[in-house]
Every structure is written in structure tokens, then in C-alpha cells.
Amino acid sequence: MHKIPVTVVTGFLGAGKTTLVRHLLQNNQGRRIAVLVNEFGEIGIDAELLRSCQICDEDEADGNIVELTNGCLCCTVQEEFLPTMQALLQRRDQIDCIIVETSGLALPKPLVQAFRWPEIRTSATVDGVITVVDCEALSAGQLVGDLDALNAQRRADDSLDHETPIEELFEDQLACADLVLLTKVDQLDPSELDKVQTWLQGELPQGTKMIPCHNGQINPEILLGFNAAVEDDLDQRHSHHDHEEEHEHDDHINSVQVLVEYTADSEQLLEQLKELVARYEIYRIKGFVNVQDKPMRLVLQGVGDRFDTFYDRPWQASEVRQTKLVFIGQDLQQADIAAALTQETAVIV
């Protein structure tokens, strides 16, 4: 039987990976797509968001969207990824392709190496690696977009520390890519975008293409069908960790989960969150908000002090209407975040 093609979607926190996968599900062109979501944090924000794509019915979504909550895929392949892949491969007659959305902290090559294992190799192949890049962040000198600014920031502030330095992680994601998707390009003027693309082209392996992508809207034919067999081509995709057996994540990076048991004013909540970002080393905020006088659930996603929101669906009669937020950052304390967000009505979970 043919091998099931697997597309790995990687990229830094908040670059737009989940938006991309959601759009792919909504425009699957008849493909039966299984999705593995590697979530950082115990509240399944990304997986729940994907379930709300309303393409799959509830039973099918529960079977085709698999959330790995045990840390980065590259660190848990033996404990969780392997049995998950084996379970999916047992249903291969129901699946046309598999999408793996990695954590923003995951190195891509160790994950791809797992497809060399005998338990997977005969049944699945890595069709291609898609790296999603936040052009607005790069243009502002964040992450690797402005190396001088980043190095100066890291010398003055350890907030980006990781056993794998952030700039090396980003370079590894670029080096492993078959295609780079440029997100948030609408936030840049033509000269700024040209500057970002010129810099990126110098960082990418020769022949790797870049494509602008607005809100994850891109033809699936572009994302699928590379036939790259990446697991057999890893020696040509050099990274900073080619001679390391394993890597460890900085123990200072953690996630904090907060439930707020009241209806929120969305504008006031955004101001509170911006104040939190200014006060604490918070890299990413995501979750669902119960907005005052609104029958629909508000999806909130933030990177630094930039926030995007949209209403995805009505609240169900069977679910508790509450604001559920995940904060990802450095040395975050649940009690501090909850107390700062609301003095009396935040419930730590």
C-alpha cells in the first residue's frame, strides 16, 4: 500500500500555524485529513479551535484531531507521538493525508527523524515541511528579523533564553523548510516587505520558495503533494543540532492557565492583557472569551502586545460560558497572573 503523506507545519509562536491548518480543513477539496496538534499547555486551545472548523462532525473531529499535551513533539516522540501515529496508521483506509502542527518551541528535524523508525517508515512519509513566518515581527526587529537588535535585546534581557537559542531555533525551522509562508504581510508597506523577503532569502537554502499568505488562505495544492520524502533528505537540511542526541527546553519557559468566571468587556480585557505583557515576560496569550452581551464565543490570540480577535461560533447550551486563557512565557506564576487579571473572580486551574 502507498505511504500516507505527512505535512509538518512549523514556525514560531503566534506565526499563524493554527489559522493555516484551520483554513486547510475548511478547504480540503475532498481530502480526508487527520491533524495532530502539539499544544504547549494543558488547555487545548488550538485543538478546540480546529474542532470548530465545522467541516467534520463531532465524532469525526474527535477521531481526526489528536492533541499532544506532553510538551514539544521533538521531546515526546517515543512517549506519545509513536503510539499516536501507529493508531492513525491503523485507520489508513480512512485518511488521505496527515498534518502535524508543531509547538512553536519544537525543532523540526527530530520529529522528521521519527519517520525513519520501522514502525512508521513503511506506512508514512514526510511529504513536506512548511515553515510559517511572522513578517510583521521580523520587520519590527523581533526574533531574527533584525539580528543586531535581537542580539542587543538578548544581552540586556534573558527573556528569550532556551537551551536552543531562539535565533538558532528559527534558523533550523528555515533550514528544514520545503516552503516558507509569509504571514501578516498586510501589516507592512511594500518597502518593508521587500526588506524582510530579501533578508529571508539570504537565510533560506537555495531553491526554497517564499509565498505571502493572508489569514491562512492558500490553495491546498500549494501546501500538499511535495513528495519530498524529507526523512530521506535530512542530511541535506543542516541545523545547529545535527550532532546532538537530544535537546532540552529551558525550564523557565512555562504556561499558565486561568479561568475567569464573569462576562468580560473585550476592550477592557485587551487593555488588561497589554498591561500584563508589559509587566511580565509573556510571549503568547491565547484562549476564548465570554464577552458581555454577546451570544458568540470570542477567540483571542496575542503575540507580545499584538492581539487578534474574532467570533468563531455561538456558545452551546451545554457548555459553561467562561473566559479561558493560556499564557506562555518565562517564570510565570499562576497566582500573579490571575490576581493581576482580576482581583477576585479569576479561578486558577
Give the model's pLDDT for residue 144: 40
**Domains, the chain, ordered by start:** 4-236 (3.40.50.300), 253-348 (3.30.1220.10)
pLDDT under 50: residue ranges of the chain: 144-154, 156-163, 344-349
If we measure between CA atoms, which residue out of 242, 283, 282, 200 comes closest to residue 112? 242
Convert the pLDDT of each residue in 198-218 to its tens digit: 988 888 888 788 888 888 888
Give the model's pLDDT for residue 90: 87
Give the model's pLDDT for residue 248: 53
Give the model's pLDDT for residue 244: 53
If we measure between CA atoms, which residue out of 101, 134, 103 comes closest to residue 21? 101
Give the model's pLDDT for residue 159: 35
Rounded to the nearest 10 degrees, the angle between the axes of helix 166-175 and helix 147-156 is: 150
**78 vs 114: CA distance, rounded Å:** 9
Q: Are 30 and 150 in contact (CB under 8 A)?
A: no
